[in-house]
Amino acid sequence: MFSFWPKNFRFQMVILVSVLLVPVMIMAFDITFLSRTDDVLVQDLENKLTRIVDRMSNQIQNQVTIQLKENPELDVSSALRKSFEEGAEPIVDINKRVRLGLYIVEQDKIYIQGYLHENPPPGGESPSTRLQRIYNETADGIKAVLAGGVPITKLGKTWDDRFLEYLAPIRVNSQLVAVVWAQERMHPIFAESANARQIILIFTLVIFVFGVGTTLVSIVSWVRKVRHIRDGLIKLESNLNSPLPDMPGEMGQITRAINKMAASLTEKELMAEELRRAEYLSALGRFVTDIAHELRSPVSIIQTTVELMEPQVRNQLELKECLAMIQKQLDRHNLLTTELLNFGSPTRVKREIFDLRELVSAVTSTVKQLFRKNKIVLSIIHSEELPFVKGDQEKLTQTFMNLIINAIQAMPHGGTLTIETFVKGDAVCVSFTDTGEGIKQEDLTEIFKPFFSRKTGGSGLG
């Protein structure tokens, strides 16, 4: 590693981040300032060329259309060329560096008025060579207009500079017969901006390569230190009296912590006590989290019901229904609170015989306001031969409520929840199916483990 390179990992990260931030700042400067300058220049020039071409296009179309009405045997190509030359001449006299062009489809030929440059290319060029060069420079734009039938704007490149061109179709009797365009060289600032961008790109690339190289050097150094720690741990596994070698920076803190941990391994009784305490705290935390999860459902229902009551105060029937829902959920809330206070005693299961269809109906009726608010369509399918079941209605109510709430949360934009009861062998089954995204295949083996959840803020105890 370089002798000047800091040993502290934090300082290394600060340097690396600072180096890698330089290209980002440069790109931000390019996007914020240089791009805006180019956009302003292009927009002003585009507006100018659009006005010229629209004027030319309308003038040519109107003149040729009128001439065809007067003389149906008129040669359209000749009329197009004549109208173009008559209209283009005064425009190029006023706009000295604007070049106008006309492509006639029938002839597959172009006609040009005006010049982009005051001087010809080095070595000069004949009129036919100039026409061919201009055609090559504009060919892509002509093809695009012929294919799409709509005006386009594009940047072109001539022998010494870039130019902006605006091309538009000319239609006679609804038939595309020609393409007219106007071109003008870009402002010198645009060329300077392009050169500046190339310099910035090269500089950014150099900084990025330097940053990547520095990062690789840092990674190699850390990998070497990790290998030393790995080899030391292998020795430490067989002999606790073989401490890890001391290192500078954060790695040194890790090795010292490992050495200290190895020394404390001899105090087995203390470790056992700490383990028992950790297990006790873990069990307590699991229970409290479980209760907190159970309390979410009635609280959310109460909140939703209150929100729905406000615009329906005048409707007494709806008000009574909402109040009944609130009271029912408050009863459940109190019951769960009692269980929290008595968590040290074994949970009693109250078994009774009841109609599962009535239980499903009662649970779904309780949360129907949630279905309405979240645009959920509920479908309940009961088996005709469904017998009475024996179980704890309150526990099943909690379970069904959790499944319904999870289904609603899995369909944030609405959907369908299907609840089906059926008999399978000696068992009575209840199936909950929603149209949400579903569970990933790799998560199916994990969903019944405590605290496993893919939901933001989820406890994994539902």
Label residue 130 by pLDDT band (50, 70, 90).
confident
**Per-residue model confidence as pLDDT tens digits over 20-70:** 666 666 665 555 555 555 566 678 888 889 999 999 899 988 888 888 888
For the chain, what percent of residues have pLDDT higher than 90? 22
Amino acid type, 329: Q
Q: Is the pLDDT of residue 123 over 90?
A: no
The single-letter DSSP state of residue 312 is: G
Classify burial at 102, counting beta carbons within 10 Å of its beta carbon; exposed 0-12, middle 13-18, buried 19 or more.
buried
Closest by CA to 372, choosing from 455, 301, 433, is: 301
- Any idea where the domains of the chain sit in the sequence? 1-266, 272-443
pLDDT at 439 (0 to 100): 81
Q: Which secondary structure element, helix H or strand E, spans residue 458, and what is its range?
A: none
Q: Are 345 and 382 in contact (CB under 8 A)?
A: no
**Greater confidence, 280 or 396?**
396
CATH 3.30.565.10 fits 272-443, yes or no: yes
Average pLDDT in the 353-360 region?
Answer: 92
Dist. CA 391–CA 351, nearest whole Å: 4
Based on its alpha-carbon atoms, the radius of gyration of the chain, rounded to whole angstroms, reads 40
DSSP assignment letter at 444:
T
On the question of pLDDT at 319 being above 80, the answer is no
What integer pLDDT is reported at residue 459 of this predicted model?
47
Q: What is the reported pLDDT for 345?
A: 47
- Within 8 A by CB and 6+ apart from 129, the residues are none
Rounded to the nearest 10 degrees, how much is the dihedral formed by the CA atoms of 231, 235, 237, 239?
-160
pLDDT for the residue numbered 433: 93
**Mean pLDDT for all residues in the chain:** 77
Q: Determine the Cα–Cα distance for residues 385 and 372; give it in Å rounded to an integer.
A: 31
CA distance linking residue 447 with residue 114, whole number of Å: 75
457 against 253, higher pLDDT: 253
Question: What number is the average pLDDT over the span 339-358?
Answer: 70
Per the CB < 8 A criterion, the answer to whether 182 and 53 are in contact is yes
Q: Quote the tokens at residue 216.
A: 């690789």
Return the minimum-mean-pLDDT range out of 57-71, 120-134, 318-332. 318-332
Q: How far apart are CA 248 and CA 233, in angstroms?
A: 18
pLDDT, tens digit (0-9, with 9 covering 90-100), for 372-415: 999 999 999 998 889 999 999 888 998 899 889 889 988 988 99
Convert the pLDDT of each residue in 227-258 to its tens digit: 777 777 777 776 766 777 777 666 777 777 77
Instruction: Report the percent of the chain where pLDDT is more than 70.
Output: 65
Identity of the residue numbered 364: T
**Which residues lie closer than 8 Å to 77 by C-beta, 6 or more apart?**
104, 106, 107
Alpha carbon 277 to its chain's center: 45
Q: Whats the size of the chain, residue-wise? A: 462
Is the predicted pLDDT of residue 334 greater than 70, yes or no? no
- Mean pLDDT is highest, among 29-33, 70-74, 283-287, for 70-74
pTM attached to this predicted model: 0.39
Distance between CA atoms of 383 and 364, rounded to whole angstroms?
Answer: 17
Find the helix or strand (DSSP H, E) in which 126 lies: none
Span 154-168, average pLDDT = 83
Select 1-266's CATH number: 2.40.10.10, 1.10.10.60, 3.40.50.1970, 3.30.450.20. Answer: 3.30.450.20
- Record the tokens describing residue 388, joined without a space: 């009475």
Q: How far apart are the C-alpha atoms of 438 and 444, rounded to whole Å?
A: 10
pLDDT computed for residue 2 by the predictor? 45
Regarding beta strands 376-382 and 415-424, do their DSSP bridges make them parallel or antiparallel, or are they unpaired? parallel
- What single-letter amino acid sits at 163? F
- What is the C-alpha to C-alpha distance for residues 59 and 65, in angstroms, rounded to an integer? 10
E strand intervals along 13-132 = 98-104, 109-113
